[in-house]
Structure 1
Amino acid sequence: MFRKKVLFITAFAISFLGCKKDVEPQSTLDKSEVVNENLEEKFANVSPKLTSDNASPLLDFIFTADPTAVEYEGRIYVYATNDHQQYEHVGKDGKNGYGHIRTLVMMSSDDMVNWTYHGLINTADLAPWTQNSWAPSITSRLEADGKTHFYLYYSNSGIGTAVLTSTSPVGPWSDPLGKNIVDRSVPGVDVEAPFDPGVLIDDQGAGWLTFGGGTPKTDYMPDNARIVKLGADMISLASDVAKIPAPYFFEASELNFINGTYVYTYNTNWTDRTEWPYGHIDIPTKCNMSYMTSKTPLDPDSWEYRDNYFKNTGEDNVGPWTNNHTHLFKFKEKYYIAYHAMYLQDYFDTKGGFRNVGIEEMQVDEEHVNILMGKATFEGPSQLNPLNPFDLQQAETTAGTSGQVQFEAVGKPGNMVAKGKADKQCLMVRGADFSKQIPAKFEARVKGKGKIDVYVNNLKGAPLVSLICDGKEWATLSEKIERTIDKGVGNIYFVFNGEDLLFDEWKFIN
């Protein structure tokens, strides 16, 4: 995958439980009440997200990397390389060589803090002719049939770029070509690794695809970045392949379209910066993210180097140094960057180079098409809106977990259920809004034998309500809440125990 790694060890800063700061309590939930129990004793294993206010990484029970994103019906859907598949093959003492990865991870959120895990896209089954699946890039468009179609491109190892399609952001997915959309057999590709795709549909409805990587021909101008216009069907090519003269290019191509301008982002290489003709612009540091702009993307001379906008996460002391792969996107009138860092290696007791997707808010000057420098953090973005606990919520929606919780696919595509173990597990959601209603009942859809204890705002004392489950078929059970809680916005913790217990969805009833 042509990835280099420079490792050093950093420590996680762990703070106490509380509500995400930007979701203000509307009444009297006492946020000074924090967990005073030893969570390491209470649960099998405790994620740093369960014991902090951190919003990154997005999922804390699975390794993910190389993110992309697309908005649909008020939610942002994020797709990622499944580093966890490699981790499961080589174990905690192994190294992340990427060779066993043949699935992509799906997740979504409407508030940037609570993330719904939608499971995996199994490229080995969908496209058995492919070798691996890394670094997806996705876009969508309303087509003539009245449906929104999703076009997901991904790296077929380092040998090419493949594409999947769907009419839902969570599938089912299909392979429309049965071959790479770009590889070295396509005239003009002429790069060692035509991978790491970046896709865009511009304001005229035209599709564009960038890609590239491999051993650089020169350190300063590697000549490995490419762009091509896509056909109206998004699975064919409608132009010759053109070069993008990206200085110190390495990999991780992505595309945006801002104010009539094509914005190409990429990861710079690890070489020393011996040449730099742009004296008015800072020299990009090693393995950071830079961007270029153009009005006529198929003209190599039209591309202008603009600046670097996101340093290596190791440079910002968010985990060890690693490779760099980002996606810039706009959601609910804010710009964000999705990226990866080695957030959870200590939690999983490994130093093998396994990554996790995080998100940060970014500042973008749309008028002048300027991307301001962003910074990786553990804290991540603020919660955009409270979670409504009186709406039906999925058990696979979490802001933090314990015990490296496991999930399995059940029912329609994209639906997952939490699986119980012999040890107690904990699922937590943040910023649940109890300011206008006080719950009288709690209900959940469950299967199997076990118990779910529900706590609001902290894990002290007795649970607010407990649900006893004992059934071989799926059933929706409810239990009256005997105690009252103060109005406000707080966290909800679901502690469940039962080796064959499956937990699908839940809600409170007033």
Structure 2
Amino acid sequence: MWKKCSLFLFVLALVWSCTSEVPASAASSTIAKHIGNSNPLIDHHLGADPFALTYNGRVYIYMSSDNYEYNSDGTIKDNSFANLKSVFVISSADMVNWTDHGAIPVAGANGANGGKGIAKWAGASWAPTAAVKKINGKDKFFLYFANGTGGIGVLTADSPIGPWTDPLGKALVTTKTPGMSDVVWLFDPAVLVDDDGTGYLYTGGGIPGGSTPTQEQRANPKTARVLKLGADMTSVVGSASMIDAPFILEDSGIHKYNGIYYYSYCINFGGVHPANIPGGQIGYMTSTSPMGPFTYAGHFLKNPASFFKAGGNNHHAVFNFKGEWYVAYHAQTVSLALFGEGKGYRSPHINKLVHRADGSIQEVAANYAGVAQLDNLDPYQRVEAETFGWNRGILTEKSSAIGGPVNNQHVTGIHNGDWIAVGNADFGSIGAKTFKANVASITGGKIEVRLDSVTGKLAGTLNVPSTGGEQTWRELETTVSGATGIHNVFFVFTGNATDSLFNFDYWQFTKNNATAVAAGGTTYEADKDTTLVNSVVRSTYLDNKPIQYVDFTAMSEASIQWNSINCALAGTKNVKFKYALERGIRNLDVYVNGTKVISDAAFDATGSWGIWEEKTIQIPMSSGINTLKVVTTGTEGPNLKSIHISSQ
């Protein structure tokens, strides 16, 4: 639970709470991410050394687990980095609304992470970096981290949010790795999977000479390295190559643009610097080869102190998302807002990065405004409550609620007057009919659904009774009105002012009936009037109601055939599959009237066998009665509940 991390935030919530309900209008304040801004990405907890991985239309940010440290009298200590034993993960499809995926308990030595640490040999997990690579036909994810300054470890998973395992049981890179013996600080990894699938790991830093380095040692530390990774991404090929990065301190970064490799890093602070290599900023070098040699080319990101009044170390990651380039970095904005000084506690930020026509990088303009929302949010799909753009007073913690993503979280620490909000929810022209939420409560309270502001138009109110416990979950629903078009949506929490009201797992709106009528089409269940080969009907619950679905058994050419699809007219139809798939990607061949019409239709993971999503495929059909069959291309497929067929 984040309560220890956010003690001050918790106290603020109590201050706002009196002996009766506080009007929502009295509680519009945020900590550091103010309504309409995108930076910092989150402010309900911290996160340092951000690295960005883009995958399937989302960007995942992996961060060191900055958590507040306290003196015996409850005051905040300066950050000693003693809490960097986990990796925090958040993700977004639009760069404003971020989903909190909780903490990966990486370090496992000496009982770290409550004895649940994954890497039992590691005492710390600093500055994570991540990569995805297709291995044996499946996407595999790799999370690299620093065990303090003494080595680099790696975890693997089948999804970007886990679950994670330690494939080696030891460090991947140490000072005994060929070419690494002269590295002062073996930490701050960055990873690149090149166009040919070859992986490269960049790491190192520090200044030789101990506490009294010479000017030459500061100017040419020679402590950066690049290593070629094996095809499995968990081994090293050959010896590391030295990157002669001038005035390097730490923070390796790597990206490729127009065939040029950009190695970037944090410039050190000491000694006499030439004007083009300013201390504490992010410098960069270029090469035509991922292994170098690299040539110094300039700098592009000033120290955070230049923008946010609190400085400290500078850490970054350059990435491309939906056709644009960005840089993720950290700054002490949240701790500054809470305590009036940063004290070394970092939070993640993103701003746009521009490559000039000559290949040089334009100076980044870091600010609180950040990146404008890239896409609208669909309120008619299940949205995790721990997905929000802005908030006041809440925390997040690991949840026992079923049906969510890996390491599912929920919103907690909810008191009277607290709220969360999402940016640019698109209700369409017909609008919403109902709002439902999955909640757990001893005390109870209300969720006010408001449009555009904390005190904006009240679209509906959901009454939350006691469900019998803080982890006893119940889905509740209420009607809403006036929710049409695009709005920021605020979920304002009210109730007994002296108690925590309830926990909040997910929410979803449903469309007005007119939308469903306009859409037309017919739904065909997978368990009715179908022929099953090597597949079986099973039962589960959806929206607290029993449903049947078909499960492909682990045999080759398992299939489901719908036998009586009636089409008034011939032509291409929209066939919407309702399916669930915990992880990975599974493919199906599609047959109509005995003829294969589509090969290897890919079904992406929904995140859990309890999460049902929809995938639409355009499929040609004849007039009259048709059969439609889907066949596994390997030995497994997604679980299928139904298909919905309509004209294009």
In 2, Cα distance between equivalents of 1:381 and 1:115: 13
* CA distance 1:136–1:53, shift in 2 (3 Å): same
Amino acid at match of 1:152: L
User: Which portions of structure 1, spanning 4 or more consecutive aligned residues, are displaced by more than 3 angstroms?
Assistant: 37-41, 85-92, 296-299, 409-412, 420-424
Aligned CA distance change for structure 1 residues 142 and 182 (closer, same or farther; 3 Å):
same
* Distance change (3 Å), C-alpha of 1:109 and 1:461: closer
Separation of aligned partners in 2, 1:192 and 1:335: 32
Q: TM-score, normalised on structure 2?
A: 0.67
Q: Is 1:329 matched up with 2:323?
A: no
* SS of corresponding position for 1:84: coil
Q: Is the 1:40–1:46 contact (alpha carbons within 8 Å) kept by the matching residues of 2?
A: no
Unaligned stretches of 5+ in structure 1? Answer: 1-36, 277-281
The 5-angstrom pairing of residues 382-397 of structure 1 reads 382-397=372-387
Q: Of Structure 1 and Structure 2, which has the larger fraction of its residues in strand?
A: 2
Match of 2:122 in 1: 130
The residue number in structure 2 matching 1:193 is: 185
Query: How is 1:399-438 mapped onto 2 (pairs within 5 angstroms)?
Result: 399-410=389-400, 411=402, 412-438=405-431
Using the alignment, how far apart are the partners of 1:338 and 1:356 within structure 2?
10
Residue aligned with 2:438, SS? strand
In structure 2, what residue type is equivalent to 1:458? S
**CA apart distance, 1:48:** 3.4
Alignment counterpart, residue 482 of structure 2, candidates 467, 481, 484: 484
Please tell me the residue identity of whatever aligns with 1:374: V
Q: CA deviation at 1:100?
A: 2.2
Shift of 1:87: 6.8
1:238 counterpart SS class: strand
Cα distance in 2 for residues equivalent to 1:72 and 1:494: 29
Conserved? CA contact 2:386–2:396, under 8 Å: no
Of 342, 345, 351 in structure 1, the residue corresponding to residue 335 of structure 2 is 345
Whether the aligned pair in 2 keeps the contact of 1:89 and 1:100 (CA below 8 Å) is no
The aligned residue for residue 246 of structure 2 is: 247
Q: Which residue identity does 2:232 align to in structure 1?
A: D
2:188 match: secondary structure: coil
SS in 2 for 1:371: coil
Cα distance in 2 between the residues matched to 1:93 and 1:122:
24
Quote the Cα distance in structure 2 between the aligned partners of 1:392 and 1:90. 43
1:92–1:332 distance in 2 versus 1, CA, 3 Å: farther
Identity of aligned residues (%): 34
Per the alignment, residue 310 of structure 1 pairs with: 301
Pairwise CA RMSD: 2.3
Q: Deviations over 1:23-67 (max 9, x none)?
A: xxxxxxxxxxxxxx9979437x63232x43210111110111101
Deviation string for 1:201-243 (max 9, x for gaps)? Answer: 1111111011112234511111111111111111111021110
For the Cα contact (< 8 Å) 2:393–2:413, is it kept in 1?
no
Q: Report if aligned partners of 1:86, 1:101 keep a CA contact under 8 Å in 2.
A: no
For 2:72 and 2:60, the matched residues in 1 are separated by 27
Q: Distance in 2 between matches of 1:230 and 1:40?
A: 56
**CA deviation after TM superposition for structure 1 residue 68, in Å:** 0.6
The 8 Å contact of residues 87 and 96 in structure 1, kept in 2 or not, is answered as: no
1:205 aligns with 2:197: yes
Specify which of 276, 280, 283 is matched with residue 283 of structure 1.
276
Contact 1:360/1:377, CA 8 A, preserved across alignment: yes
Offset at residue 260 of structure 1 (A) = 2.6
Aligned residue for 2:237, secondary structure, equals coil
Q: 1:509 corresponds to which residue?
A: 510
Match of residue 455 from structure 1: 450
Q: Which residue of 1 aligns with 2:262?
A: 263
| Aligned partner letter, 2:317 | H
Q: Give, in whole Å, the separation in 1 of the partners of 2:322 and 2:394.
A: 31
Query: Per-residue deviation at 1:407?
Result: 2.9
Alpha-carbon offset, residue 263 of structure 1:
1.6
| C-alpha deviation, 1:429, in angstroms | 0.7
- What amino acid sits opposite 2:346 in the alignment? R
Instruction: Please list the CA deviations of residues 251-296 of structure 1 after superposition, one character each: whole Å capped at 9, or x if unmatched.
Output: 000111223332211110002434x4xxxxx512211111111223
Aligned to 2:100: 117
Are the equivalent residues in 2 in contact too, given 1:58–1:115 (CA < 8 A)? Answer: yes
SS at match of 1:454: strand
Q: Which runs of 5+ in 2 are unaligned?
A: 1-21, 108-116, 210-216, 512-648
1:185 deviates by 2.1
CA distance in 2, matches of 1:196, 1:215: 14
Quick one: distance in 2 between partners of 1:502 and 1:204? 47
1:42 and 2:27 are equivalent in the alignment: yes
CA change 1:422–1:207 in 2 (3 A) is same
CA distance in 1, matches of 2:375, 2:208: 45
Paired residue for 1:100, among 61, 79, 83?
Answer: 83
| TM-score (normalised: structure 1) | 0.85
The alpha-carbon deviation at position 477 of structure 1 amounts to: 1.3
2:288 is aligned to 295
**Secondary structure of the structure 2 residue equivalent to 1:345:** helix
Give the counterpart letter for 2:148 in structure 1: S
Higher relative contact order (CA 8 A, sep 6+): 1
Residue 195 of structure 1, CA deviation:
0.4
Counterpart Cα distance in 2 of 1:297 and 1:466? 56
Distance in 1 (alpha carbons) for counterparts of 2:399 and 2:72: 21
Relative to structure 1, is the Cα distance of residues 273 and 446 closer, same or farther in structure 2, using a 3 angstrom cutoff? same
Q: 2:411 touches 2:505 (CA, 8 Å); kept in 1?
A: yes
Q: Secondary structure at the match of 2:286?
A: strand
- CA distance in 1: counterparts of 2:167 and 2:319, whole angstroms: 26
**Partner of residue 437, structure 2:** 444
